[in-house]
Structure 1
Amino acid sequence: MNKTLIASVIATLLTSNAAIASDETTELRKVITQQQEVLKSLEQRLNETEKKLEATADQVEVVAESEGGMFANTTIGGYGELHYNNYEDQDAKIDFHRFVLFFGHEFSDSIRFFSEFELEHSLSGDGKPGEVELEQAYVEVDINETISSKVGLFLIPVGLINETHEPPTFYGVERNGVEKNIIPATWWEAGLSFNYKPVGGVSIDGAVTSGLEVGDDFKIRNGRQKVAKATAENLAYTGRVKYTAITGLELAATVQYQTDITQGGNNFDAPIDKADATLLEAHAVYQVNDFSVRALYARWDINGDEAKALGRDEQTGWYLEPSYKISEKVGVFARYAEYDNNAGNSDSTAVESTSVGVSYFLHEDVVLKADYEDLGGSKDSKGFNLGFGYQF
């Protein structure tokens, strides 16, 4: 009896445990199944995230390629100036004198391109007052650490204004008469040039280029051909030495020689002899704190009976310009200048100019200008100029 009872109890317990184990196994399988579904969901989400990351990476690569591609080393700049001129015995004029764009590109660390494209007087074309001009378009190559070369269309290395003439870089609304009528800025030619820096603060330039072609009036400014199907029978040879080793000081001298400034007399009614011409220019700039002074002298000597008969075998000019920066935004200047395109004769034909003015800098690259000019000598007039200019 007792054995039978014990056996029954044991059997019951075994049966209960088996049932419990079976229930636990079923529950465990459900949990595993649920976890497997969660893992599948997570795996799906992970795949979607990876796809999104790949798409984002592709887009970033496209942007990077765009920013680091063919335009990565391309630069754009420019300048412009608006002038208002009011002189006695003349109608007052307002003129957007220059709108200029620069385009440059670095092909490598040693080869670069630069260009300057200009619209003068707002409108160009037949019967319009302005011109569209390509003033610079050259490739510069660094041959080594001290020698570089330019080939193409570039500014002649002479004077103060010719190579650096953005409005915020000089005083006065208009460019001074000496560098306009004697040098004559802005003056560009086509050819080949070299720059050599033997030591720090010393720079030597040499250039072989197209030259001027004056007419029968022998006016230098009118002789600029601007490399527009320019006559190139007689080339020009230019050399300059510049010294800047002392802080605040610049000394420079330029000489140019042209074998025939008339290019064979194409603009003359009758045959003429060759008129070789030599330009000499020297200038100095000295700045101490907020005070600076500029001085420049330029002279043409032209051989030939035709130039001598007009008194234009010698053409000279000079000016002296002190200035003072009152504050970061305000600068004042005074200038006395003389130039004479008929210096070879005995008459008093020099133009004398006395100017005073102020520049107000809204920004270091944006300036408002005003000046008063008193003209004497062969010109007798006075008036004032207002201007606005920028560079970027």
Structure 2
Amino acid sequence: MKKVLLVCAMVLIFGAIFAQEDGIKGLKKEIQELKKKVSENEKKIEATADSIEDSGVKSGVAFGNTTLGGYGELHMNQLSGKEDGTSSKREIDFHRFVLFVEHKFTDRIKLYSEFEIEHVIASKSDAGEVEIEQAFIDFEYINDHHVWGGLFLIPVGFLNETHEPPTFYGVERNPVEKNILPSTWWEAGAMFKGQITEELSYDFGIHSGLNVGSGDSYKIRSGRQKVSKASARAFASTGRITYRPMAGFDLSLALHFQQDLTQKTEVESVSAFMFNLNVSYQHKGFGIKALYAHWILDGDGPDAIGADTQSGFYLEPSYRINDNWGVFARYAMYNNAAGSNGGDSEKSQFNIGVNYWPHEKIVVKLDFEDQFYENDSGERRGINLGIGYQF
């Protein structure tokens, strides 16, 4: 009897051991499968992040190795002239229709391009334009380090590189990133980009330059050549460092230099130096953006009219109420003749409004705008209404 009990006990013990071993093997198999899934998900996340970071195409539809994307925006302005009404702006305009095309030749060589139609019709009698804003080859020569060759957007400000309507507040783009940083601003040349650390990235480019002189009062926006049979007598360089120490916080400093802003078309050359500082912070729906840009033009021509210094800034707090609604306010000031001989040329603008996203890539915008000019000429006040999309 004792032997029978002993045998039964041994069977039970060894059965438990074998069952435990089977269980351990099962657990090990499950752990390996989980590790494999985690690794696959990490690769997918990294691939998606790289695609967004490296591409001018923020979204799109893939057809094999080619991806198509785009955006568009319709604006209506009901702004009354504050002085005598002569400067009123009451119009509706399909401002931009844009298509992006990205093509992957290999995992390390890609093409990015952007084709744009502004104001619907382009002809001698119409205000519209047909433009190519980006067309460059991206070579990833080592991991996380790229060189672009071709036509690309200059790495300054917030809006110059990312300006799809659902990504920013307000119907119209802010006046500082129009008149001081002349968005949309693109040039041709070579651009180096990469990650130094997880928090620190860089951009550095040598490229075609602006072309502006006394006939345009040296106003920076008037100098965009858009790489259309552009003068190449004086090239320019732009560099930027971006620091992202935590999710939601970005700090960047950009510097730009051009030896002769007039492209040697005037007797005296005018060198130009610009620095731009951006700060943005997002936390639990609350957001704030601050931008400052400052140009220094060295020459008797700009000095005589106060255009030797041109600068501007804006501050924009916002609050994303939920996935569909967000509100903002923005104060902006700029001056294209801020030098000692510039006179009363400072301009400021206040906007307050709301964005409604019925879908994450579609936005309806409404804002109130009030302009204040030191010389009281051209001031406007009223509302802007718009709708935009990206895909």
Look up the match of 2:364.
368
Residue 126 in structure 1 maps to residue 124 in structure 2 = yes
Q: Select the residue among 72, 75, 78 that pairs with 1:83.
A: 75
Question: Which stretch of structure 1 is more off in the superposition, 339-348 or 328-337?
Answer: 339-348
Per the alignment, residue 297 of structure 2 pairs with 302
CA contact (8 A) 2:255 2:276 kept: yes
SS at match of 1:132: strand
TM-score normalised by the chain length of structure 1: 0.80
Amino acid in structure 2 at the alignment position of 1:197? Q
Q: TM-score, normalising length from structure 2?
A: 0.80
- Give the Å deviation of 1:377: 2.6
After TM superposition, the structure 1 = structure 2 runs for residues 302-381 of structure 1, keeping only pairs within 5 Å, are 302-344=297-339, 345=341, 347-378=343-374, 379=376, 380-381=379-380
Q: CA offset at residue 327 of structure 1?
A: 1.5
**Given the alignment, which residue of 146, 167, 171 partners 2:144?**
146
> Who is 2:270 aligned against?
275
Q: CA deviation at 1:197?
A: 1.1
Distance 1:198 1:336 in 2: 34
Output aligned runs, 1:54-69, within 5 Å: none
Rate the CA distance shift 1:91–1:255 in 2: closer, same or farther, 3 A: closer
* 2:235 is the counterpart of 1:235: yes
Q: Where does residue 73 of structure 1 map in the other structure?
A: 65
Instruction: Name the CA distance, whole Å, in 1 between partners of 2:146 and 2:262.
Output: 31
Partner Cα distance (1:263, 1:358) in 2: 43
Query: d(CA) in 2 for partners of 1:259 and 1:301?
Result: 12
Corresponding letter in the other structure for 2:66: T
Over the aligned positions, Cα root-mean-square deviation in angstroms equals 1.2
Counting only pairs closer than 5 Å after superposition, residues 15-34 of structure 1 correspond to structure 2 as: none
**Partner amino acid for 1:391?**
Q
Deviation at 1:348, TM superposition (A): 2.8
- Partner-residue secondary structure (3-state), 1:244: strand
* Superposition deviation, residue 214 in structure 1: 0.6
Structure 1 position 126, deviation (Å): 1.0
Unaligned runs of 5+ in 2: 1-61
Query: What corresponds to 1:28 in structure 2?
Result: none
CA distance in 2, matches of 1:387, 1:248: 27
Q: Percent identity?
A: 49
Shift of 1:154: 0.2
Distance 2:218 2:354 in 1: 35
**Which digits, 9 at most, give the CA deviation of each residue in 1:294-330, with x for residues without a partner?**
0000011001100111110000000000000111100
CA distance in 2, matches of 1:383, 1:341: 24
The answer to whether the Cα contact below 8 Å between 2:165 and 2:388 also exists between their aligned partners in 1 is: yes
Relative to structure 1, the CA distance from residue 188 to residue 211 in structure 2 (aligned partners, 3 Å threshold; closer, same or farther) is: same
Q: CA deviation at 1:286?
A: 0.4
Q: Secondary structure at the match of 1:94?
A: strand
- Where relative contact order (Cα < 8 A, 6+ residues apart) is larger, the structure is 2
Whole-angstrom CA distance in 2 between matches of 1:280 and 1:233: 23
Question: Shift of residue 71 of structure 1?
Answer: 5.1
Aligned to 2:252: 252
Letter in 1 for 2:301: E
Q: What is the CA-CA distance between 1:72 and the residue it aligns to?
A: 1.0
CA displacement at 1:245 relative to structure 2 = 2.7
Q: Aligned pair count?
A: 318
Out of 340-349 and 216-225, give the one that drifted further.
340-349
Contact 2:305–2:342 (CA under 8 A) maintained in structure 1: no
1:146 Cα deviation from its structure 2 partner: 3.2
Q: Give the Cα separation in 2 of the matches to 1:238 and 1:381.
A: 35
Query: Residue deviations 1:34-80, cap 9 Å, x none?
Result: xxxxxxxxxxxxxxxxxxxxxxxxxxxxxxxxxxxx95110000000
Q: Secondary structure at the match of 2:213?
A: coil
Query: Are residues 169 and 223 of structure 1, via their aligned partners in 2, closer, same or farther at CA, if it must alter by over 3 Å?
Result: same
CA drift at 1:346: 5.3
Residues of 2 paired with 1:238 and 1:172: CA distance? 28
Structure 1 stretches of 4+ moved >4 Å: none
Q: Given residue 277 of structure 2, which amino acid in structure 1 is its aligned partner?
A: A
SS in 2 for 1:221: helix
1:383 deviates by 1.2
Q: 1:198 to 1:340 in 2, by over 3 A?
A: same
Q: Distance in 2 between matches of 1:289 and 1:237?
A: 38
Q: Does the residue aligned with 2:123 lie in a helix, a strand or coil?
A: coil
SS class of match (2:222): helix
Q: How much does 1:196 deviate?
A: 2.6
- CA offsets 1:259-293 (integer angstroms, 9 cap, x no match): 0011012xxxxx42110000110010001110000
Paired with 1:325 and 1:172, the residues of 2 have a C-alpha distance of 14
**Residue type of the partner of 1:261?**
L
C-alpha deviation, 1:91, in angstroms: 4.1
Partners of 1:346 and 1:108 in 2: how far apart? 53
Aligned-partner Cα distance in 1 for 2:161–2:296:
23
Distance 2:291 2:99 in 1: 28
